[in-house]
Structure 1
Amino acid sequence: MKHIIRAVALMLACAASSAHAQSVQYAGGKATFDGKCVVCHQAGGKGMDGLAPPLVEYPGKYAASDEGRKHLGTTLLYGMFGPIKVKEKTYNFKMPSFASLSDAEIADVLNYVVFDLNAAHGNAKPFDAAQIQALRANPVDGSAVHRQRESVVKSLGL
């Protein structure tokens, strides 16, 4: 009887694990996120109070506009520093540049954040490597990315 109970428990655990894995549409992006971003933004993009904002709402809203998409891409490429507010909480840290990642890796991470971590993403379409390559053609610094964010937040009424 104990063997049957253990077998059933194991099957349930495997089924739960498979169901979770199936909910991830952008596995490559998740792998990169888990290796590079999770230390600050935490598992599932929940954020860390005072340090790194959550990524479970705003990126989905940003991705539905051209200006927001540009901001998401430049944030990963060039980093960002300076205080920001997300839902009345303030975060102030220096996000590093991830320009050493390939264009495809950055697009995959953005797709993971926008489509796997955000339930609402409007009419956003997936990012692709060509979009990231185009952003690399016009490098900016982290303070310019911060100003860009202010404009996106204002235009989206966040």
Structure 2
Amino acid sequence: MRKRGSKRCGIAAALSLSALLVAGAGGAQAAEEGEALFNQHCAVCHQPGGVGAPGLAPALASLLGKRVSAPGGREYLPRVLLGGLSGAIVAGGEKFNGMMLPFPQLHDEQLAALSHYLLGTLNKDTLAADFAPLTAADFAAWRGKPASSAENRKLRTQLDAAGQ
């Protein structure tokens, strides 16, 4: 049974996170929150630190920066986190054929924080120097029109071909 005040605490926490991100509290805090979200929602498949699990889930570390930096790549992460990804892919020279479920239950601010960790921490060496961090507004823009997991796989293929 839920305590009466727990909903208010959750709302207060979400507003606090939003205020920190909007106020520019810095990429470090966003990345810290993002790492906690990654460990809670993503690490079970992609493993802590985004190193991947052979045959199950590809590595995310050092592989996303180039993709999102390619022309049209800025929309890749919002689309995948909100619409999922399925089908055959190649990542780091290894073949995968599975399904990543979307995360529509995460708020736009949480998705932005997660992207700070994924891109600013795990992919900082492969991300274009002029890449502007994804914001809650980037995720909100895609929330109302999520692409299918198959469309996201097609975009991934196009971005990988453009980045080579």
Aligned to 2:111: 106
- 1:68 corresponds, among 62, 65, 73, to 73
Question: What residue in structure 2 maps to residue 35 of structure 1?
Answer: 40
37-46 vs 49-58, which deviates more? 49-58
Equivalent residue for 1:132, pick from 139, 142, 145? 139
Asked whether the 8 Å contact 1:77–1:136 carries over to 2, the reply is: yes
Q: Which has the higher strand share?
A: 2
Aligned residue identity for 1:35: Q
- From 77, 80, 87, the equivalent of 1:82 is 87
Following TM superposition, the consecutive aligned residue runs of length 4 or more in structure 1 with deviations greater than 6 angstroms are: none
Of 149, 155, 163, which aligns to 1:148?
155
Q: Please tell me whether Structure 1 or Structure 2 has the larger radius of gyration of its CA atoms.
A: 1
Alpha-carbon distance between aligned partners in 2 of 1:146 and 1:120, rounded to the nearest angstrom: 21
| CA apart distance, 1:66 | 4.8
User: SS of 2:98's equivalent?
Assistant: coil
Q: Which amino acid aligns with 1:144?
A: E
Instruction: Report the TM-score, using the length of structure 1 for normalisation.
Output: 0.80
Q: Percent identity?
A: 31
Structure 2 residue ranges without an equivalent (≥5): 1-26
Find the aligned partners of 1:95 and 1:44 in 2 and give their Cα distance: 18
2: CA distance, partners of 1:66 / 1:125: 13
Segments of 5+ residues of structure 1 without an aligned counterpart are 1-23
Amino acid at match of 1:29: G
